[in-house]
A and B are shown apart, each in its own frame.
Chain A
């Protein structure tokens, strides 16, 4: 040991896996496993304990409601459970072949999208779960049909204000989740008003669906009989103020001036009655987004604002440049919608018009995000105040409107590029902003943690692989930042 000069290591800065082994800086580990970092040092990682007795877990999300939070858990048989349900191990949704599911919470309800990890399942739809343990049902809903009630309208015997001319009437179903269906039934009645009467509505359709709670009556303004072309669906419909009944009530008398018909109902006509399932769900300015459906892997379907289940089939969509690769994400950030694929990112801004009119900006043709590759921040959602953390083929990258180079995984680049690109949809990332740790599930059932207590940067983040006696397939936070790990187990 003569002439040996001792090296003082004051900080252990985690795993280094870039280049030849002899390029490992002395304050980094050329290899390590199952350690977590403490002030100026490290220790063995914390242990795990049984949190809930659900079998064979492949995906889970935190479902936050007014009364608390629970877990939505998918097993390998296509069953989704709600851990907070009164009957937690009775599935709220069971779909054969569901290998993964998209999820978003809106107004205390969970929207669930069965998929195979790449795109929505064929002939499957988005479901809505009320969070009370009852089975999830298909989101949206069908319009009234003649078989449910041949809607009729006639001038009332009582005096009223319905303006002279031809009025067309229709019915709209409202579901328990607030969805307003397209209007119906198939045959729409007309009334030629003389300007002095109310209108009696009868045979209001009755939906057999338990989800339908109310029926609204909509009408056109007065149409000049000389201009009437007989096409009952060729005119603009409006909601009649106060013209709603509980589902099951078949009569109603309405009275209105045309000037009171302010709320346009025309947008209801082309709504999806069932929303096709996609690979992911997201939100943007009060709209729900469904991306990568079975038939349209490069399309984001975008709902009406404040009506997550109201998606127009004609103009409620964003068509991303087609390249045969399925969309993997859509994320709101600073009032801009970013959407794309693992190596593509596009930006849209809501211009107040229908989504199909929004202009696309090609943001990056090298960086994007994988399916579960936008870090969920504690148990609340995807976005932090200042940045997103996104997983893509290049590594784990900070995004603040542009991708920040170098990537956070720069020090462990050799480890990262060893991941098979076909398995990126199995990577999941969470960001604990309280403890300042990033947790990443890798496709091989191990994890990667990045401690950024020093700084969230490629230089200062400290990485360590974690392994467990059972493979880890999915992670979630509950109670702010308690890390939960889901395992399919060992067959």
Chain B
């Protein structure tokens, strides 16, 4: 077998990586003693992101002995969340005004193509390669999540699903099935975005009757909303 087929770079880097790999074969991992997390948690300052965690820092320490319950269906109604949403609501209002102003200038063509109000690069999780863009486009008052991938994704033994993960990373919603095009568009609820589901994720899924995320994320990017 040639080196090309083994995906090795020519340099010493990979010879070293392989040597390290071989030497590391004998290592077995052990876990810190129970209670280590509790001791860590006891020394942390205040939690700055209470939207993560409705009941405050205490909740984070509870999990070692009691498994955490599944994520609640909606983000916290705590004050910080409410503040964030209202800030974003203001932002959306401004975007609407801007869109209206642009329309009067550019006319019908713009009304057809709509206006991109947020955009992010989609990158591979493992190698951080720029593989395309995700955009939120507003067209005649309706929002669309648009996935632009110059090199179409495919999944030979399954399908590719599009998700929006909450910025607190605890909840996610399924957006739809990506069917392999260079540009695919999904109608989007303004409320879902306003609630903080802004991390676009494409995952490889199998026909296994499991409606949840497979955990095999291919691309991801966070919308600046």
Partners in one complex: no
Listed in ascending order, the chain B residues whose CB lies under 8 Å from chain A are none
Listed in ascending order, the chain A residues whose CB lies under 8 Å from chain B are none
